[in-house]
Structure 1
Amino acid sequence: MNHQDKINKYAQLVVHVGLNIQQGQKLLISADIDAIEFVRAVTEAAYKRGAVNVMQRLTDGPSTQLKYQYAPVETFKEIYDYEKDEIKVHLKERIAHLRIYSQTPELLKDADPEKIAANAATVGELNKDFARAVGRFEFSWCIVAFPNTAWAELVFPDLKGEEARTQLLDAMIKAVRADQPDPVKAWEEHNHNLNSRAKLLTEKGYDRLHYKSERTDVEIGLNKHHIWMGASAINAEGHEIQVNMPTEEVFTSPDFRRVNGVIGNTRPLSYNSAIIDDFSLTFKEGSVIDFEAGQGYEVLKNMLDTDEGAKRLGEIALVPDDSPISNSGILYYNTLFDENASCHVALGRSFPGALKDGKNLAKEQLEANGLNQSLIHVDFMIGGPDLSIEGIHADGTKEFIFKDGNWVI
């Protein structure tokens, strides 16, 4: 495939499998201007699929840097009425949403951590109803990525310019299975495998999991009626969507009140375009009581201070070390990809669908059942070739789920 063929095939996969656009549907694309050629390809594919209106919300990385350099911290705390009104309209009309990551993960490496924290809290407050609808799959949504040059040169430091960007695009194309002769069929098979694994774990009905590796030793409790989920989801209108492309995980939300021990990261975390690395979190009765970080300490501190729920777990996800992205040896510095090379957990908001009948419960009821509530949801990677995970039943019997980083059930 030439360059344009790759982009077109990727766009068609996102529209047909990721968003599963329906006749008469509206779509909003959020992206950086560095991804404009991909935005145009998705726009065309969506219209050909039957969309009646494809809207675009574009940002510019260098302009964002200038805002963080010159704007006062108060600017990052402002919420305007038109922003709230727009979200209400999008939720009412169930407009499909596509988020395209395309900026370098180091975009805000020199920005004031206080401004980063203020912006994260403001965005979380503004989007709390939207985020709740996302967790309940009330509309079609999908998150994908497209490379820019600075990001590509970070991932492939021996390459420069267009050569690096092409290399990163090729890696992304492979990771989302768009290089397959029939990408749609490849995703159908992939979904079946992950959903079967999720069904098996749900049937096991573990009471808690024990994670053990060089950097992690933690016990994580599970709700009695927890559900494991696979790659795809069913939206409120009954259509199958693929919310993350790529994805290699099965996941659930733990009982946030029953987390005790230490969790250490195994890959860098890019949070709001700043890198946090070499960090560990100590949990007691569900909350972080201590932490350390070799890089991005202040960013991590401010993230944990977002709200009470930011100190608790909202997701646990299982990904074998023997998986395509892990085997590629590529470190993307981007959670969308790196979380699919490694078992991971998330601080913050949980998934209502991870609890039986959870989609019908109010947030207070979810929290009463141990599903965490927060303005944030931040995944970070904890897996590797030395990770073991034991599933522990309520009667104390145990069995290994993972050994040496891979499935054993």
Structure 2
Amino acid sequence: MQKFEEQIKKYAEVIAKVGLNVQQGETVAIVSDIRALDLVRAVTESCYTLGAKRVLTELSDTDLTLQHAKHQTVETLEEILPQVKAKNNFYLEEKISMLYIHATSPEALKEADTDKMMAANRSAREAAAELSASRMKYDQNWCIVGYPSAEWAALVFPELPVAEAEEKLMDYILKTVRVDQPDPVAAWDEHSKFLKSRAKWLSDYNFDRLKYTAPGTDLEIGLIDGARFTGGGHKNRKGLDIRVNMPTEEVFTSPDYRRVNGVVSNTLPLSYNGQLVDRFKLTFKEGVVTDFEAEQGYDVLAELLATDEGARRLGEAALVPVDSPISNSGILYYNTLFDENASCHIAIGKAYPGPVLGASDMSDEEQDALGLNHSLIHVDFMIGSDQLDIDGITREGQIVPVFRQGNWVE
């Protein structure tokens, strides 16, 4: 990736300044696969330049993960080790700023035993449950970004030699995060203003529900009275702006999990635990998935929905036009961080409390009473296309066109 040395440095600066908004005296933890070491090093330098007190690195390797899954039992993989819990508690108590770098191929673990991978992920989610809740309330900074590994690039561009595929994927990633702009920070500020204006337009209507219509989809999603739509960034507990996903093209809200009815079909593959789930359909009745089907990855989807009670309910509804940079690139990234920003999507599992004023300070029971879902998971999947129409239905019964043929109604 020598060709991209300067761009990687700019990318790291944008992550530290715009994504995490690193402040003097903070501690930052970078969680990444070893395939992204160039970016890990560059972000580390950028964080220190901005005044970070220390930068911690937590590196993994999918090849080692495969070895562990091959030789360990399900029971061993389910154990929560004391040092893992202690580490997560440290991140939580110290409100460490967390950066997650996605670099591995979505198919990296496809040869691993599904039961074992599910066991390992259950253990990891349980060990990090409180930390995850803290992040979702923006009590501490966090950001997710991408970096191309050889394996991932080969999946996206199978027709190219691996080195060329890596360079091409890197080039596209840098464009999605606006590093190709003369002033990336200013470009992010302008983009955030647009997303915030769309979020305000939706919020001002205080819709009762959204109705989605497309081939294979006829779905109504109830919304919480007074809940806002949000996009373009978030305020952390100190009131500072952060961007938790880079890239981001979405405007989203947390729906009322009890009022979801109809059927919905995916339009892009879902990559989960190194496995692809595709051509699937979920049927909702009174907020719960009562039936599902999948042509690819049925067992993975079944295990996902069986995680806990909340895994069969919705935690997010996000609007993304098909006329957006990632969608217009025509590239399927096989990575939710990127593909969800090319398409409207919904998420099963835990809801973000932020869209509901005051909910971040409420107990789980109080949040549940409002209709905010709880789960150990939060998994987005893509349902948008140029055939998707969305209507907002007000609490007075007025029907307001929101999307037509996959794009915002002007």
Of all paired residues, the percent bearing the same amino acid is 51
Deviation string 1:232-286 (CA, Å, 9 cap, x unpaired) is: 0111112111100000000001000000000110000011121111111000000
Structure 1 counterpart of 2:169, one-letter code = L
Q: C-alpha separation between the residues in 2 aligned to 1:317 and 1:105?
A: 22
Q: C-alpha separation between the residues in 1 aligned to 2:242 and 2:158?
A: 35
Deviation at 1:362, TM superposition (A): 1.0
Unaligned runs of 5+ in 1: none
Q: C-alpha separation between the residues in 2 aligned to 1:210 and 1:137?
A: 29
- Mean CA deviation greater in 140-149 or 393-402: 393-402
Deviation at 1:180, TM superposition (A): 0.2
**How do 1:9-408 and structure 2 match up within 5 A?**
9-408=10-409
Structure 2 counterpart of 1:270, one-letter code = S
Deviation string 1:14-56 (CA, Å, 9 cap, x unpaired) is: 0110011001111100001110111001111111111111110
Q: C-alpha separation between the residues in 1 aligned to 2:71 and 2:86?
A: 28
After superposing on structure 2, the runs of 4+ consecutive aligned residues of structure 1 that deviate more than 6 Å are none
Structure 2 counterpart of 1:371, one-letter code = L
Deviation at 1:368, TM superposition (A): 1.0
Structure 2 counterpart of 1:307, one-letter code = D
Structure 2 counterpart of 1:177, one-letter code = R
Q: C-alpha separation between the residues in 2 aligned to 1:76 and 1:367?
A: 31
Question: Counterpart of 1:260 in 2: which secondary structure?
Answer: strand
> Number of paired residues?
409
* 8 A contact 1:30–1:57 mirrored in 2: yes
TM-score normalized by the length of structure 2: 0.98
Q: C-alpha separation between the residues in 2 aligned to 1:109 and 1:83?
A: 25
Q: C-alpha separation between the residues in 2 aligned to 1:166 and 1:328?
A: 16
Deviation at 1:2, TM superposition (A): 3.8
Deviation string 1:83-142 (CA, Å, 9 cap, x unpaired) is: 222222212211110000000000111222212221222222111111110111011110
Deviation at 1:82, TM superposition (A): 2.1
Q: C-alpha separation between the residues in 1 aligned to 2:286 and 2:116?
A: 31
* 8 A contact 2:283–2:290 mirrored in 1: yes
Unaligned runs of 5+ in 2: none
* 8 A contact 1:11–1:41 mirrored in 2: yes
Deviation string 1:343-391 (CA, Å, 9 cap, x unpaired) is: 0000000011121211111111111110000000000000000000010
Deviation string 1:298-326 (CA, Å, 9 cap, x unpaired) is: 01000000000000000000000100000
TM-score normalized by the length of structure 1: 0.98
Structure 2 counterpart of 1:228, one-letter code = F
Structure 2 counterpart of 1:39, one-letter code = V
Question: Counterpart of 1:352 in 2: which secondary structure?
Answer: coil
Structure 2 counterpart of 1:334, one-letter code = N
Quote the RMSD (CA, aligned, Å).
1.0
Q: C-alpha separation between the residues in 1 aligned to 2:71 and 2:85?
A: 25
Deviation at 1:395, TM superposition (A): 2.3
Deviation at 1:405, TM superposition (A): 0.4
Structure 2 counterpart of 1:383, one-letter code = G
Structure 2 counterpart of 1:163, one-letter code = E
Q: C-alpha separation between the residues in 2 aligned to 1:192 and 1:231?
A: 7
Q: C-alpha separation between the residues in 2 aligned to 1:354 and 1:125?
A: 25
Q: C-alpha separation between the residues in 2 aligned to 1:209 and 1:3?
A: 43
Question: Counterpart of 2:230 in 1: which secondary structure?
Answer: coil
* 8 A contact 1:117–1:306 mirrored in 2: no
The match for 2:8 is: 7
* 8 A contact 2:62–2:109 mirrored in 1: no
